[in-house]
């Protein structure tokens, strides 16, 4: 098992390029089930979750080949309609194959999902939506079994905004008969990216990026070539890396508008952020100011940046309050940040962070994907040496992050434990 060793205290400087989005790539890969032909997906990041998705699709009968950041997916050979527990257990997004299989073949059997242990993320809203489209669904022995002679358009009002549920229904409704209207739909850029790809296939989707999406079902979809959007969470992590180290970094390939809520908070904290010719420059102030945040569904402050922002607040001037409103178990990184000497107290879904003059390097353990990133950020800012174990979480969502940070001047190495 690998671990990261970081010698902190170096100001990051230079230029870095953002990889393609993990959270956009996964449903885009799954959407290829909806057609029968060769699809080419570019700007794909090299990640564990991508490999898991490839294994799931291959188990269904798809033929997949890769060349650099380009992946070709031939979905013509899909005949199997079951995604097993062994494949689905490690990644929650695997459950998204249910809707496309159901829409194309009229049946599917998919294991209930796994993924990061950051709190309950039930798929009841996914299943409720599929039932509204006419699916007959049974839960047996840890599997979802779904049947539908023909999916039919319907009005679906999500009880809460759900990214996975919105993506799931977008794909299933694309081949349903008649019109489907998704109300209280999630608005994330990754959903817009998926809708753009589906429309390129021949789907008729309007309103993606708003809370009401209209889908006019079509009888078939065609193979496409599509380039995945940049990873806004990776981009945000690099922005905070520049800020927490007192650095000056230029980030290529990101879309600043995807991170408006976080950008405003960083600017309030004193960070200088400018954009020119699709390059974003992040320059740290002499001292970071403490800022309160509350995570919200997009376009609010992203829960996937909460842990990283908390690391920044650990060295800010003053006290901040960080409220987590999306996942109930997403403060597992707090105990590890405290090992650096961070002053953090938790009450309910809020953490009070009192900035300290300096963090001190320590041996720590990653608990989930974004917690891993927060520990790297703390290690970059800390005195002495930090060792981060269980970084397999990190490999689910960041492509070669240690190499990219090293390119900015960080003293960071991956070694075998």
Annotated catalytic residue, options 33, 34, 78, 116: 116
Cα–Cα distance for residue pair 214/85, rounded to 1 Å: 33
- Buried (b) or exposed (e) across 156-180, using 16+ Cβ within 10 A? bebeebbbbbbbbbbbbbbbbeeeb
Residue 123 is assigned to a ligand binding site: no
Residue 49 is assigned to a ligand binding site: no
Residue 177 is assigned to a ligand binding site: no
CA angle 166, 168, 172 (to 5 degrees): 115
- Known catalytic residue: 314? no
Cα–Cα distance for residue pair 93/114, rounded to 1 Å: 8
Q: Phi first, then psi: give them for residue 246, nearest 5 degrees.
A: 70, 30
Residue 304 is assigned to a ligand binding site: yes
CA angle 404, 275, 278 (to 5 degrees): 65
Residues 6+ apart with CB under 8 A from 250: 14, 15, 16, 279, 280, 281, 282
Residue 92 is assigned to a ligand binding site: yes
Peptide bond connecting 21 to the previous residue in cis, omega within 30 degrees of 0: no
The alpha-helical segments, DSSP class H, found in 157-287 are 163-174, 189-201, 232-244, 260-268
* Angle of the 189-201 helix axis to the 22-31 helix axis, nearest 10: 30
- Assess contact for 253 and 266: CB atoms under 8 A: no
- Assess contact for 253 and 289: CB atoms under 8 A: no
Cα–Cα distance for residue pair 237/416, rounded to 1 Å: 24
Residues 6+ apart with CB under 8 A from 153: 133, 173, 176, 177, 178, 179, 180, 215, 216, 217
Which residues are catalytic, by number? 116
Per the annotation, binding residues for UDP-N-acetyl-alpha-D-glucosamine are: 92, 304, 326
Per the annotation, binding residues for phosphoenolpyruvate are: 22-23
């Amino acid at each position: 098992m690998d671990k990261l060793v970081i010698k902190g205290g170096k100001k990051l400087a230079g230029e870095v390029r953002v990889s393609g989005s993990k959270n956009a790539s996964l449903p885009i890969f799954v959407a290829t089930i909806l057609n029968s032909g060769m699809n080419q997906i570019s700007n794909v990041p090299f990640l564990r979750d991508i490999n898991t998705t490839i294994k799931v699709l291959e188990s269904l009968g798809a033929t997949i080949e890769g060349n650099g950041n380009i992946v070709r997916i031939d979905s013509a050979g899909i005949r199997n309609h079951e995604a097993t527990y062994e494949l689905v257990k490690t990644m929650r997004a695997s459950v998204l194959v249910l809707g496309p299989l159901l829409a194309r073949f009229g049946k599917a059997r998919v294991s209930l999902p796994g993924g990061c242990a950051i709190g309950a993320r039930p798929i009841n809203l996914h299943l409720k939506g599929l039932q509204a489209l006419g699916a007959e669904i049974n839960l047996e022995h840890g599997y979802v079994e779904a049947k539908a002679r023909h999916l039919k358009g319907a009005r679906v009002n999500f009880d809460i905004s759900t990214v996975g549920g919105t993506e799931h229904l977008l794909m299933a409704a694309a081949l349903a008969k008649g019109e489907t209207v998704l109300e209280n739909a999630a608005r994330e850029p990754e959903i817009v990216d998926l809708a753009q790809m589906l429309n390129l296939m021949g789907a008729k989707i309007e309103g993606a990026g708003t809370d009401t999406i209209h889908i006019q079902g079509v009888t078939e979809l065609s193979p496409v070539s599509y380039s995945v959007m940049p990873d806004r969470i990776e981009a945000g992590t690099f922005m905070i890396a520049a800020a927490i180290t007192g650095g000056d970094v230029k980030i290529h390939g990101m879309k600043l508008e995807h991170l408006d809520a976080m950008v405003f908070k960083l600017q309030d904290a004193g960070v200088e952020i400018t954009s020119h010719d699709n390059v974003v420059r992040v320059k740290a102030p002499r001292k970071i100011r403490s800022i309160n945040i509350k995570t919200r569904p997009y376009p609010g402050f992203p829960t996937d940046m909460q842990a990283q922002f908390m690391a920044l607040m650990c060295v800010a001037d003053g006290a901040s309050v960080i409220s987590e409103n999306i996942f109930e178990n997403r403060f597992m990184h707090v105990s590890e940040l405290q090992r650096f000497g961070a002053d953090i107290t938790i009450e309910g879904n809020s953490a009070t962070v009192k900035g300290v003059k300096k963090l001190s390097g320590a041996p720590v353990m990653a608990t989930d994907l974004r917690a891993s990133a927060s520990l790297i950020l703390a290690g970059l800012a800390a005195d002495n040496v930090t060792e981060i174990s269980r970084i397999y979480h990190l490999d689910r969502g960041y492509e070669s992050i240690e190499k990219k940070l090293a390119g900015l001047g960080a003293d960071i190495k991956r070694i075998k434990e």
